[in-house]
Amino acid sequence: MAKVRVEVRNHPLARCVGSESPTPFGLPFFRPSDAARVIARLPWYRLLVKVVVLPADADPLTRPVEIPETHSPPAILDTGAPLTCFPATLWRQFAAEIRWLDQPPREDGEPWRMTILGGSWTYRLGRVRLGATDINGRWLDAATTVAMFLDEPPAGASRPPRHAILGLRTPLLDRRRVRHAGTTPDDLPVWWLEDDIP
Amino acid sequence: MTTNGTHPPPPATDAAHGDVFLELNDEGKAALADFAWVGEQYHRGAWAAHAGEYIAVVRRQVVGVGGDPAGLRERAARECGVPPGRVVVSYIDSPNDL
């Protein structure tokens, strides 16, 4: 059963391990019974999958022998997002591997836009071949994914997400599962993206 | 990108768990090691001063900090004499990001 380790970011413990500084991450709140009003934090940690963009014409079972960082952006695993998207700062580095898809014009004549994380950005639709790896070089075989490739926003507009977003409908998740597998000795959570084999 | 062609050899696996491991070349291993180091240091709070920015790392050294990841990568590659794909550029989450 192939699997890759999913990196956890923004966990409240992250800034505490090996550090005396208090963590700034997590949604702050007060427990109802706490008269001392000690700030508790609800984790909003992110799960990052290190995706690898392969050549569009690569054999389905191709495995890379090197992983250029330009082609291996961490992507937030977001099962609340239907589609995968890449900000321009990331996809421009592997633009040669994208097969662009035309879309019919919208009825109102406006460009197609996606709305996420409180912002709205124009995009082009395309396909890329994505595999996944982790810090130990584990590998999950690649799948072709339709994704939204965000345009660079005009000056003064809100900034798009810094990371790529791996949406629920990516075939990279087909017949695979995300599993929380306890914690490390430092109490950091361990997550896997793995084949779902009975 | 270099791949192992259209007829990949049987993958290296961890027999106990069925994990598939890439057979990376030296450059690939070095880049992955830097990527792992960035994560380790993140969990030690080492990048707190750079929250909301990108850092560029080569051979376990921060070689640049800034807001433009592509420009940062190009500069770091030029200054370190490595290909752009060898530079690990990582966004450091800010407490203001959700």
SS3 per residue for A91-134: HHHHHHHCEEECCCCCCCCCCCEEEECCEEEEEEEEEEEEEEEC
| Cα A177 from Cα A3, distance rounded (Å) | 9
A166 touches chain B (CB under 8 A): no
Contact A54 B69 (CB under 8 A): no
Chain mean pLDDT for chain A: 87
User: Is the pLDDT score of A21 beyond 70?
Assistant: no
- Give B64-79 pLDDT, tens digit per residue: 999 999 999 999 999 9
Q: Are A52 and A71 spatial neighbours (Cβ–Cβ below 8 Å)?
A: yes
User: Does B64 contact chain A (CB < 8 Å)?
Assistant: no
Distance, CA of A169 to CA of A173 (rounded, Å) = 7
Using one digit for the tens of pLDDT, what is the confidence trace for A50-64?
Answer: 999 999 888 878 888
- % of chain B beyond a pLDDT of 90: 55
Helix (H) and strand (E) counts in chain B? 2, 5
| pLDDT at position B93 | 81
Contact residues on chain B for A152, CB-CB shorter than 8 A: none
Is it the case that residue A198 has pLDDT exceeding 70?
no
pLDDT in tens, A179-194: 999 888 877 789 999 9
Amino acid at A179: R
Q: Given a cut of 70, is residue A80 above it in pLDDT?
A: yes
CA proximity to A120, closest of A95, A151, A142: A151
ipTM score assigned to the predicted complex: 0.83
Q: Does A192 touch chain B (CB under 8 A)?
A: no
Is the CB of residue A128 less than 8 Å away from at least one CB of chain B?
Answer: no
Q: A79-110 burial, b if ≥16 CB within 10 A, otherwise e?
A: eebebbbbbbbbbebbeebbeeeeeeeeeeee
Mean pLDDT throughout A148-171? 89
CA A187 to chain B, closest CA, distance in angstroms equals 11
Q: What's the rounded Cα separation, in Å, for the pair A4 and A194?
A: 6
What is the separation of C-alpha A9 from the centre of its chain, rounded to a whole number of angstroms? 11
Which tokens go with B7?
């007829």
Contact B20, B12 (CB under 8 A): yes
Strands B19-21 and B61-66: unpaired
- A93 min Cα distance to partner chain B (Å): 8
The answer to whether residue A2 scores a pLDDT higher than 60 is: yes
Q: Measure B44 CA to nearest chain A CA, in Å.
A: 5
Q: Does A120 touch chain B (CB under 8 A)?
A: no
B38 DSSP assignment: H
pLDDT score, position A108:
93
* Cα dihedral B45→A10→A178→B38 (10° resolution): -30
Q: Is B11 helix (H, G, I), strand (E, B) or coil?
A: coil
Contact B2 A66 (CB under 8 A): yes
